[in-house]
Chains A and B, each alone.
Chain A
């Protein structure tokens, strides 16, 4: 539909339009929006009192408090602003493997879905691709739902390649971020746990509300295509490991992958991060609607 991935059918778009991003804390945003901001403003959400001074709008005088204290206080309200959302998409070579799992394609779809939720909520969103090839010049925040087409076109041109150090890559991105907001990091997280914890820890330290989305291939999980004596080559480092894959090794492989995911989830929960796991063997629509809360979205 209009250059969007096939998953974006009208029904799915309608469902996305009913969602909005929920953050665990208030962030100063940009422009008018639907999210409470720590700034004082004109929303209905009470924020504080202060003494009346000449020039204040008499409509905000708390007359009840005046009756009890015989002093004039002005009621202050929170501001509602647009949320700044950051979507970081891992485009390293590991996201392109194994063939047939469509890890990167579905990551793009997920990123676009999150971006669409943000845009339809009137928020600003920035999509950054970590690694990969075919990237055009980075664009900053985009605003307005029509920009989803532009985002989709840009992401469609990207092919996963190369290797990234998540901590290093996220640190580089963090430097460019001026205001805190919602952060989505979409990756397979098949990397050193230390790199993951340092990378995601940077954002939590920067007072960001982070959601880690791990994407795992269905065939990858089952170890499909690996049997007998094989030399497995790391898609990013090029390292080679020989292994005889039998039923027992395949089972251990599956268990190890699951254990890695559990470790990542435990890390996220411990540090106040949202975490969700997407197994590409399941339907994208099914996953997205099931994982709304885990992704940090609300209806």
Chain B
């Protein structure tokens, strides 16, 4: 359908921002004089001018007649253009502004009942719309993942936008419906926009804003998906891993699925699972042998293959390296008795941040580091008011734990009534750490996350580790270590569309597609739009694998796509808007001036070189 007013924008009036600058054209005689002075010929005494007369020499005065060298006219043109540029010439271009929102989320990878892929059909529709626009129309193209954003600056023609749209691909990341709705509402409210075209997996609740044209691909697609794929080691001494894979059935009928877990191309275990429509189940694999990476496959596959595969890594099964920094390093001796733990002790004076490069967990007893640690860290009775953590503490005369979070992994199975820490301190309110266990006058255990790392601080001393001799304290210590090294938690907990903080020491990230991206540690890596195994490559080629899955099962529910409710503010008018843009020509003129100046320089250089050769 053609857009309204498509043939009425043919006027292109011109103007000058500073017409007064044209007075500089009076400089032209100066140029002529300068040219005469510069081009004044050399005077050479010769034996006789008879010969020169015979070959066309003309009698000349003091300055002579200006020779009409074409370079003179080039310079005259440069001067004229410079004056014109100063006058600020512009043309008024009438154009319409369009916004195109292409949903490139994982849901658009789904194959529809007619065998076509949602995303391909969406691009076709968008291209048809773009073809109906005028050449001078401006188009801004948005995509929805990992967050709604324009793919580039506004395209100055629908053709350029079409080229860009043709290069788009659907990602493995889910779209954020709320953010998408907000974007559409904002665009639909923008009075500068003539129209907004949206093509995506989410329908829009009527009534549609007048500027919005929607192509929704929300026809239900029966789909089954793998959700999270978690691995955990049940205990420090365990030699196998416990895997759990979530499975969702978003088909119309009950179905029996087979979940296979494999590693290095070898099937390790498989399990059958019968699920009702809209039911989510879990397949447990309690004895997975230790491997570097694991892959879970869902059979039978369906029209959205990307969520029929999930990945996990064995970050939990390595021997855990603990750096113990304390004025009394002997306190670390007891930790050595924990299977799978390797402890390196340092005094605070001997500690350097480089020591953290070889540690999974750092423990600072009566000390805090001078820079934020790049690994998960336990701070035992840290001194107050350090510049990094800025703890506020007060001495505790009575250190009984009176309250704790019952569902926290740190407090799990700890009998706090028997804990009985002897001396300690209470923590005041901390800006980013929350209390896990508290005494009568404040928190005794706090924890929080910073720069993608976990931190725990205790107001009493856990060490030395005495094992069975002090069971509550030992359980608490093991809980904390487990929390810090990620045991018992989702070790494959990275999802498409969710940015990470780049871990310390990482210089390059190789995506599952093979694309490599240079990164800086501590910065946000938002390009998490592919499922699979990411390689985090550090100094010297040290590589860490990170599994990223589409484990948000709501993205796999192609039967119940939520409708977007667009609340556009159309108080500014709904008529198609034509934008009159003052397009400055000064830049173009300056480019021409530079080109002409270069040409002149080239010619002058060439002439001088030729003269030098002749004189030689």
Q: Which residues of A contact B (CB under 8 A)?
A: 94-95, 97-98, 103, 188, 190-192, 217, 220, 224-237, 239-244, 249, 252-253, 256-257, 260
Contacts and interface: CB of A to CB of B under 8 A. Distances in A.
A226 B42 CA distance: 9
Contact of B51 (A227, A240, A257): A257
Given A225-B615, A230-B41, A260 B51 contact: yes
Given A242-B57, A249-B56, A256-B54, A230 B42 contact: yes
Contacts of B53: 241
Given A241-B52, A256-B54, A232 B46 contact: yes
B203 to A, nearest CB: 78
B55 A243 contact: yes
Contact of B614 (A94, A192, A227, A242): A227
Contact of B57 (A236, A243, A260): A243
A104 B44 CA distance: 19
Given A229-B42, A244-B67, A249 B47 contact: no
Nearest to B50: A190
B19 interface: no
Given A228-B42, A233-B49, 20 more contacts: A94-B48, A190-B47, A190-B48, A190-B51, A224-B615, A226-B46, A227-B611, A227-B614, A230-B41, A232-B43, A232-B57, A233-B45, A233-B46, A235-B47, A241-B52, A243-B52, A252-B55, A253-B52, A256-B51, A260-B50
Contacts of A97: 45-47
A232 B45 CA distance: 6
Given A249-B56, A252-B55, A233 B43 contact: yes
Which interface residue of B39, B42, B607 has the most chain A CB atoms within 10 A? B42
Interface stretch (B58-66, B376-384, B511-519, B595-603): B58-66
Interface in B106-150: none
Interface of B: 39, 41-60, 64, 67, 607, 610-611, 614-615
Contacts of A225: 44, 615
A230 B43 CA distance: 6
B41 A235 contact: no
Contacts of A244: 67
Nearest to A249: B55
Given A240-B59, A253-B52, A233 B39 contact: no
A242 B58 contact: yes
25 contacts: A94-B47, A95-B47, A97-B45, A97-B46, A98-B46, A98-B47, A191-B50, A225-B615, A228-B41, A230-B41, A232-B52, A232-B57, A234-B49, A235-B47, A235-B48, A240-B43, A241-B53, A241-B58, A241-B60, A242-B58, A242-B64, A243-B55, A243-B56, A243-B58, A252-B55
Contacts of B615: 224-225, 227
A232 B44 contact: yes
How would you classify the secondary structure of chain B's contact residues: helix, strand, loop or mixed?
mixed
B60 A231 contact: yes
A191 B56 CA distance: 18
Contact of B46 (A95, A234, A256): A234
Contacts of B46: 97-98, 220, 226, 232-235
B420 to A, nearest CB: 104
Contacts of A98: 45-47
Contacts, number: 108
A207 B548 CA distance: 120
A30 to B, nearest CB: 37
Contacts of A224: 615
Nearest to B39: A229
A186 to B, nearest CB: 15
A188 B46 CA distance: 12
B59 to A, nearest CB: 6
A255 to B, nearest CB: 9
B47 A241 contact: no
A226 B55 contact: no
Given A242-B41, A242-B60, A244-B67, A220 B52 contact: no
A239 B67 contact: no
B45 A235 contact: yes
B610 to A, nearest CB: 8
B44 A226 contact: yes
Which interface residue of B47, B55, B57, B58 has the most chain A CB atoms within 10 A? B47
Contacts of A190: 47-48, 50-51
Contacts of A226: 44, 46
Contact of A241 (B57, B610, B611): B57
Contact of A256 (B42, B55, B60, B610): B55
A256 B51 CA distance: 6
A233 B53 CA distance: 11
The 6 nearest A-B residue pairs measured at CB: A241-B57, A242-B60, A243-B57, A190-B48, A94-B47, A229-B41
B604 to A, nearest CB: 11
Contacts of A232: 43-46, 49, 52, 57
A233 B44 contact: yes
A99 to B, nearest CB: 9
Contacts of B58: 241-243
Nearest to B61: A240
A233 B49 CA distance: 7
B611 A228 contact: yes
A141 to B, nearest CB: 31
Nearest to A251: B55
A236 B48 CA distance: 7
Nearest to B608: A228
B48 A234 contact: yes
A126 to B, nearest CB: 26
A94 B48 CA distance: 7
Contacts of A103: 47
Contacts of B54: 256
Contacts of A217: 47
Contacts of A241: 49, 52-53, 57-60
B58 to A, nearest CB: 5
A240 B60 contact: yes
Contact of A253 (B42, B51, B610, B611): B51
Nearest to A240: B60
Contacts of B56: 243, 249, 252
A238 B51 CA distance: 15
A26 B117 CA distance: 122
A241 to B, nearest CB: 4
Contacts of A95: 47
A225 B47 CA distance: 13
Contacts of A242: 41, 57-60, 64
